């Protein structure tokens, strides 16, 4: 088991997986976070890694997960590899960050949470979109009371990608498809805004020619008389509002998405001038007068996730996304799948203890 790192020494990081998420998000954000040093990369394509990072130690994913020279292991491998790689890292005494989805089943998620408790290691899930500008805008508006009690929250994660691409996320298999890809983000944000749902109803479809797995998802979370609608599609040209909130005093509409992914794709380094800036204002509509006013959008900064992970490992603040929150996301994700299969609303399969623990975390961070 690796020894606890000295606060003045950087935490050495192994990144397992160097595909889209690993290279674009994790590597860039780790590099931009003081106190973290990306030292080892686990990949089956070493030449591609070394072309980008000639100084990296490159080895097989399984070896990277247990590498003796690292303190923190980040799992960004295909979804069905998350659980075994993360458990191996925990058993080797490493702290672990897992990309979303946490696992491909709720049972696997519970097993990993148990392994983290047993080993005394930090286990966190990469819910980077908690620090997106659009979500921060919605969170602030609801918290301010400007719309009154939020009764209808609608979140869209829509794209226009009419061609099915040859990548594992769009191929038939466990943990693939749009709901496993984008659903965890939508669910996590929804739970932070309105809490755990009483029940979930859902519908999925394959709308593009040649689609092997769902590329359209429409999920409704039932919170008493309140509703959260989560929608994702690959056939939305021109975009749709990212967020719609209707409340007892008015409404809020935010059209544009956070720009950090686009900035990374354009080669911007996290923290550079303009990083996370979002010029798209939200519209707040007063219910009594129907008058609309612009609401400036906060700056997004996904670096905050890794800064919080670093500090949590050093014992300076709580885990930013603890396992109990990841369990809740997985329970809602599975409930939606069951609801789509049966055509009836399904109650998320969380124990009383898990619900109590989830509420305790929410209250401690609110």
**How do residues 282-341 score in pLDDT, each as one tens digit?**
999 999 999 999 999 999 999 999 999 999 999 999 999 999 999 999 999 999 999 999
Residue 239, SS3? Answer: coil
Bridge-based pairing state of the strands 123-126 and 292-295: unpaired
Q: Which one has a higher pLDDT value, 168 or 22? A: 22
* Mean pLDDT confidence for 46-66: 95
Residue 133: the pLDDT is 98
- Chain segment 177-227, per-residue pLDDT in tens: 899 999 999 999 999 999 999 999 999 999 999 999 999 999 999 999 999
What is the pLDDT at residue 4? 46
Mean pLDDT along residues 86-98: 98
- Separation CA 54–CA 339 (nearest Å): 48
β-bridge mates for residue 245, sequence order: 153, 252
Cα distance between residue 323 and residue 86, in whole Å: 12
Cα 218 to Cα 204: distance, rounded to the nearest angstrom: 6
pLDDT of residue 165: 85
* Core vs surface per residue 250-263: b (16+ CB within 10 A) or e: bbbbbbbbbbbeeb
Q: What is the pLDDT at residue 297?
A: 98
Q: Match 């050093």 to its residue by tokens.
A: 314
Which residues, including other chains, have CB under 8 Å from residue 203's CB and lie 6 or more apart?
217, 218, 219, 340
CA dist 17 to 65, 108, 186, Å?
A: 10, 20, 23
H/E run at residue 30: helix 28-31
Confidence check: pLDDT of 257 > 50: yes
- How many angstroms separate the first and last alpha carbons of the chain? 35
pLDDT reported for residue 355: 95
Structural domains of the chain, with CATH: 11-126+306-321 (3.40.50.720), 133-300 (3.30.360.10)
Which pLDDT value is given to residue 3?
41
Task: Determine the pLDDT at residue 290.
Answer: 95
Instruction: Please name which of 97, 83, 104, 122 lies closest in space to residue 30, comparing C-alpha atoms.
Output: 97
227 forms beta bridges with: 152, 222
- pLDDT tier at 366 (50, 70, 90 boundaries)? low
What pLDDT, on the 0 to 100 scale, is given for residue 7?
54
* CB-based contact 289:249 (threshold 8 Å): no
The yes-or-no verdict on residue 9 having pLDDT over 90 is no
Q: Which residues pair with 244 in a beta bridge?
A: 154, 253
- Which residue(s) pair with 285 in the sheet? 251, 292
Would you say residue 252 has pLDDT above 60? yes
Query: pLDDT tens for residues 93-134?
Result: 999 999 999 999 999 999 999 999 999 999 999 999 999 999
pLDDT of residue 2: 43
Section 232-236 average pLDDT: 94
Q: What is the pTM of this model?
A: 0.94
Give the residue carrying structure tokens 């619900």: 355
Phi, psi of 11 (to 5 degrees): -75, 125
How far, in Å, are 118, 134, 208, 361 from residue 358 at the CA level?
19, 24, 37, 5
- Which percentage of the chain shows pLDDT scores above 90? 91
Q: What pLDDT was estimated at residue 166? A: 81
Tokens 């996320």 -> residue = 169
What distance lies between CA 209 and its chain's CA centroid? 28
Mean pLDDT of the chain: 94
Q: How far apart are CA 245 and CA 196, in angstroms?
A: 18
């Amino acid at each position: 088991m690796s020894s606890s790192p000295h606060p003045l020494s950087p935490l050495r990081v192994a990144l397992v997986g160097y595909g889209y998420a690993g290279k674009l998000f994790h590597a860039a954000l780790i590099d931009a976070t003081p106190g973290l040093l990306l030292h080892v990369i686990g990949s089956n394509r070493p030449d591609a890694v070394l072309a980008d990072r000639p100084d990296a130690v490159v080895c097989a994913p399984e070896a990277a997960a247990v590498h003796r020279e690292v303190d923190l292991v980040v799992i960004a491998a295909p979804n069905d590899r998350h659980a075994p790689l993360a458990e191996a890292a925990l058993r080797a005494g490493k702290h672990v960050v897992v990309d979303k989805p946490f696992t491909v089943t709720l049972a696997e998620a519970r097993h990993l949470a148990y392994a983290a408790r047993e080993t005394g290691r930090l286990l966190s899930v990469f819910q980077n979109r908690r620090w997106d500008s659009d979500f921060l805008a919605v969170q602030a508006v609801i918290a301010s009371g400007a719309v009154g009690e939020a009764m209808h929250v609608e979140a869209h994660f829509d794209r226009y990608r009419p061609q099915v691409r040859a990548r594992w996320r769009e191929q038939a298999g466990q943990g693939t498809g749009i709901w496993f890809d984008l659903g965890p983000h939508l669910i996590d944000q929804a739970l932070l805004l309105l809490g755990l749902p009483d029940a979930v109803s859902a519908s999925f479809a394959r709308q593009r020619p040649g689609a092997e797995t769902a590329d359209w998802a429409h999920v409704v979370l039932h919170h008493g008389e309140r509703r959260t609608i989560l929608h994702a599609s690959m056939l939305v040209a021109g975009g749709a509002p990212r967020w719609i909130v209707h409340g007892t005093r008015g409404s809020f509409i935010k059209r544009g998405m956070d720009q950090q992914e686009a900035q990374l794709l354009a080669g911007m380094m996290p923290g550079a001038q303009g990083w996370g800036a979002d010029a798209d204002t939200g519209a707040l509509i007063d219910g009594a007068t129907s008058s609309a006013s612009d609401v400036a959008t906060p700056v997004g900064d996904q670096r905050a996730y890794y800064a919080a992970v670093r500090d949590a490992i050093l014992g300076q603040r709580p885990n930013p996304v603890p396992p109990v929150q990841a369990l809740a996301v997985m329970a809602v994700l599975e409930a939606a799948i069951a609801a789509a299969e049966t055509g009836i609303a399904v109650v998320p399969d969380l124990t009383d203890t898990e619900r109590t623990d989830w509420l305790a975390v929410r209250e401690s961070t609110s």
